[in-house]
């Protein structure tokens, strides 16, 4: 399964149209929170009671999206974070998480 169209909607969601005609709307905030890169995973793992999430709007808005091979997209966020590669299977999994 691969996307035939990817579009940022209202600076808030990512619309993915899959090759089977199905569509998923993924919240950008959620995508960033589940960023699969090593830095973010390490960051999430070290969270404890003293951890204060510092959140800015730039973290949740998209600067650009690049295709990576045939299996993933790279999202470049407006705060400059660009190490997250979102595999298509991972995006599918996230959409299941979000959709009721
Ligand atoms: Zn990350």
- For the entire predicted model, the pTM comes to 0.87
pLDDT tens digits, 65-91:
999 999 999 999 999 999 999 999 999
From ligand 1's centre to the CA of 32, what distance in Å?
7
Three-state SS at 79: coil
Fold designation for 28-98: NE0471 N-terminal domain-like (3.30.2020)
Half-sphere exposure of 60 (CA within 13 A, CB side): 15
Q: Ligand 1 centre from 36 Cα, in Å?
A: 6
22 C-alpha vs ligand 1 centroid, how far in Å? 27
What phi and psi values does residue 94 have, to the nearest 5 degrees? Answer: -65, -35
CA of 85 to the centre of ligand 1 (A): 8
Boundaries of every domain in the chain: 28-98
Is the CB of residue 61 less than 8 Å from the CB of residue 11?
Answer: yes
pLDDT digits (tens, 9 = 90+) for 14-70: 999 999 999 999 999 999 999 999 999 998 888 887 777 778 889 999 999 999 999
Burial 76-88 (b: 16+ CB within 10 A, else e): ebeeebeebbbeb
Q: What is the end-to-end Cα distance of the chain in Å, rounded?
A: 22
């Amino acid at each position: 399964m691969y996307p035939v169209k990817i579009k940022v909607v209202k600076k808030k969601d990512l619309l993915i149209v899959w090759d089977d005609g199905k569509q998923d709307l993924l919240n950008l905030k959620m995508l960033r929170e589940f960023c699969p890169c090593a830095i973010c995973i390490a960051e999430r793992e070290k969270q404890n009671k003293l951890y204060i999430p510092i959140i800015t709007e730039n973290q949740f808005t998209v600067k650009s999206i690049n295709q990576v091979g045939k299996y993933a997209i790279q999202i470049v966020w407006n705060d400059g974070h660009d190490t997250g590669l979102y595999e298509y299977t991972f995006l599918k999994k996230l959409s299941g998480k979000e959709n009721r």
